[in-house]
Structure 1
């Protein structure tokens, strides 16, 4: 006997990363999306300045992607990935590998950025053991880093709100300091001048634990969810040198920066620093179907393949690894990126975006502005005794004015779809200027 149908009072859905009680009193419901805009439940067109959650890089409702997913679900809705396969998973892996420079040449599919991070951490630990260095079990992250919400991700992550209520998490984890230096680098345009010396913090932590015990360091090339922290000049190259010196794997978390966000296909291209493992998600399908991946260097993959031929080399995977719908969406998304030049389009618009963003210097409460490619952040002075309130007020006011932004702490973060036009950029900053002038 089925339960009686209940009215939709919004109560049943426990929303993620949301002030549930506040939202359900004044819900912000989206009912449609096309190109650069969402449609709200009350019929307004909301300009998307955040690419959803950093993920809709090709914009919304792209017909080629819609048709690919529709055709795929009719042809093959699901195929197991354990001891079985389907053609599109191999096609997608090969296509991604062809996009990547050597030595990155293998792809492990996941379903989200969080799963990609946990997968990369497990690959790093298993790799050290497979090559006879099982004492290398420690993992390093960075303060203010965001690496998803799995226990691995929050352990190596460095955002206190994501960690403080979940116990001891993984053991054997330590962190280096973040790169934020507002006193020296406030209102930097692009990559900040000061702070390469922050990389030396890695040497201090290695000395504390000894390199023989450290498997990997994971960092975001650009720390996104914590408020867009751009690495100082030379910082990432120095991090790579230290990892090489001490035989430590370097993992780049490119869940946000991957697929064109900074004006190159990946941030490691922009900074000319080659990691050993790369985590991606979000833009791989332009947010249409959940999917993630880990790119692995040849020497890592080959080490696992030294096992007996009939044995499973890595005891890890997901029911939906390389899901047919996700693969179809990803292949169509890559087509759109290629046909429209979206993986490098941010470079063409970066200076216009930068000028519009930095024109807000001097507005009330603005204490810093940061940018790279089509990413931007405006840091606001917190209200004494009420941290996050000022930025959240700006978020609500922007939505009332048909603009979707994102806030983290007292920082406004923006990352529009890569199809954004200069007229959209003008509208974003004109609206945001009015908003910042109107809030306390």
Structure 2
């Protein structure tokens, strides 16, 4: 039997950890998480932490839901694996697809499964290309994304992502992608520019980019309803209302990346519903199974589905799919997850409890280390500043990491995204638990502020 008595340091000799400085981990070790219960996880010493990021934005029902465990066990005993290739299928894949179609906006007609959000967005690119080839527009291949947008880490989806650390030394992004301005009014607006004016300017910039690139070469625009891993950036008033007519004018697909915002996170079933637009296709993952099993899905509208299906008849096959796409155990967990969301009205619960969540964030906006508080449903962030203005730190990322460390020491796991503190707790969180989550935040900010002043950062 393997001896894990020194697991905190031994782990760094076994794994290459994503999104981490490997040399720092070798020196400091890693935090080992051993179990979960409700909105909390426990480390290997038994210390509890409120998991204020729902893991990686995904455990909407917390960390020990007995119904999801039961669904996985039942399906494992019945049919632990099968595929949906070459004319075969199984009931759980079909049933979940029907549920997704019933909940998704825009009369989605077909569902295609993968295992991760990255694979879903990679699939979106291939579908956009296949669709345009099928309808006789093979030149429409370029893709539009946004700076700070996050769409995955495969070669193609990482190219859509607008974050430098996803590109550096990976020889990315591919030249098929053009990144547009981040829709971050607080930081990007001109002096005196209202949110509506800012949105109108971004729509004009979008059209100028389309014309410069040639509309007949652009396949799709991908956007998260709320930018998640780029800092929980909530779109300004009127943003999607301004953008959508431009895309429609030039026959450009709108891909909604709902990997984080899907299934109640913003207080509606999908984030695109919260912000008043209807996409051509949707990527979803994470809370599709409440994080209990790996599964993602792409849903497309009837016009895309018909063109794609007719083209398979012409060329003989649809040459795309994943071994574990539509895995019966994952689909069974997804079915039960959506049943719980509906039965317990999780979107309605989020809408109610998010008022308390927003009030805490707004209160903390007055802290001298905070420049802006922002939120949508149960997603929120505090963007830090050396003096409460839009000015950035001379040495970025240090202060955000310090606040996150101070919060961890106080029993709350959040995420520092540069110098923004992100919060995305399990959607089952109660108002009392929201209060518990935010109880130590001001103390952590105070400690980090003292440290930042001692280091000459604030």
1:411 equivalenced with 2:414 (yes/no): no
Distance in 2 between the 1:60 and 1:219 partners? 29
**Structure 1 stretch 231-240 or stretch 384-393: which is displaced more?**
384-393
| Structure 1 stretches of at least 4 aligned residues deviating more than 6 Å after TM superposition | none
Deviations 1:77-108 (A, max 9, x none): 11122112211101110111111234312111
Cα distance change on mapping 1:117 and 1:45 into 2, 3 Å:
same
1:258 equivalenced with 2:262 (yes/no): yes
State the match for 1:295 in structure 2: 299
Alpha carbons 1:55, 1:286 under 8 Å: kept: yes
- Provide the TM-score with structure 1 as the length reference: 0.94
Cα distance change on mapping 1:167 and 1:356 into 2, 3 Å:
same
Return 5+ residue gaps in structure 2 as ranges.
387-391, 452-458
Equivalent pairs, count: 433
Alpha carbons 1:378, 1:411 under 8 Å: kept: yes
State the match for 2:199 in structure 1: 196
Cα distance change on mapping 1:363 and 1:194 into 2, 3 Å:
farther
1:361 to 365, 372, 386: 365
1:42 equivalenced with 2:51 (yes/no): no
1:75 equivalenced with 2:75 (yes/no): no
Distance in 2 between the 1:308 and 1:419 partners? 43
How many angstroms does 1:150 deviate by?
0.8
Distance in 2 between the 1:140 and 1:166 partners? 20
SS of structure 2 residue aligned to 1:215: strand
Alpha carbons 1:112, 1:281 under 8 Å: kept: yes
Distance in 2 between the 1:169 and 1:314 partners? 27
How many angstroms does 1:175 deviate by?
1.7
Cα distance change on mapping 1:434 and 1:240 into 2, 3 Å:
same
Higher relative CO (Cα under 8 Å, sequence separation at least 6) belongs to 1
1:179 to 177, 183, 186: 183
Alpha carbons 2:185, 2:236 under 8 Å: kept: no
1:231 equivalenced with 2:235 (yes/no): yes
Cα distance change on mapping 1:379 and 1:101 into 2, 3 Å:
closer
Alpha carbons 2:312, 2:318 under 8 Å: kept: no
How many angstroms does 1:227 deviate by?
0.4
1:329 to 318, 333, 337: 333
**Structure 1 stretch 257-266 or stretch 92-101: which is displaced more?**
92-101
1:244 to 245, 248, 251: 248
How many angstroms does 1:322 deviate by?
0.2
State the match for 1:31 in structure 2: 34
2:396 to 387, 393, 410: 387
1:91 to 92, 95, 99: 95
Alpha carbons 2:185, 2:195 under 8 Å: kept: no
Cα distance change on mapping 1:102 and 1:229 into 2, 3 Å:
closer
How many angstroms does 1:195 deviate by?
2.1
How many angstroms does 1:362 deviate by?
2.3
How many angstroms does 1:194 deviate by?
5.4
Distance in 2 between the 1:185 and 1:76 partners? 54
Alpha carbons 1:37, 1:47 under 8 Å: kept: yes
Distance in 2 between the 1:340 and 1:313 partners? 41
Cα distance change on mapping 1:71 and 1:279 into 2, 3 Å:
same
Deviations 1:409-438 (A, max 9, x none): 111000111111111111122211110011
Cα distance change on mapping 1:79 and 1:381 into 2, 3 Å:
same
Distance in 1 between the 2:375 and 2:173 partners? 33
Deviations 1:202-258 (A, max 9, x none): 101111111111111111111110101111111112211111000011101111111
SS of structure 1 residue aligned to 2:440: helix
Cα distance change on mapping 1:117 and 1:345 into 2, 3 Å:
same
State the match for 2:323 in structure 1: 319
Cα distance change on mapping 1:207 and 1:193 into 2, 3 Å:
closer
State the match for 2:405 in structure 1: 396
How many angstroms does 1:343 deviate by?
2.4
Aligned-residue CA RMSD in angstroms? 2.0
- Provide the TM-score with structure 2 as the length reference: 0.90
Distance in 2 between the 1:214 and 1:184 partners? 25
SS of structure 2 residue aligned to 1:376: strand
Alpha carbons 1:265, 1:344 under 8 Å: kept: no
How many angstroms does 1:351 deviate by?
1.9
Deviations 1:41-93 (A, max 9, x none): 11111111111110011112111100000111111111122112211101110
Return 5+ residue gaps in structure 1 as ranges.
none
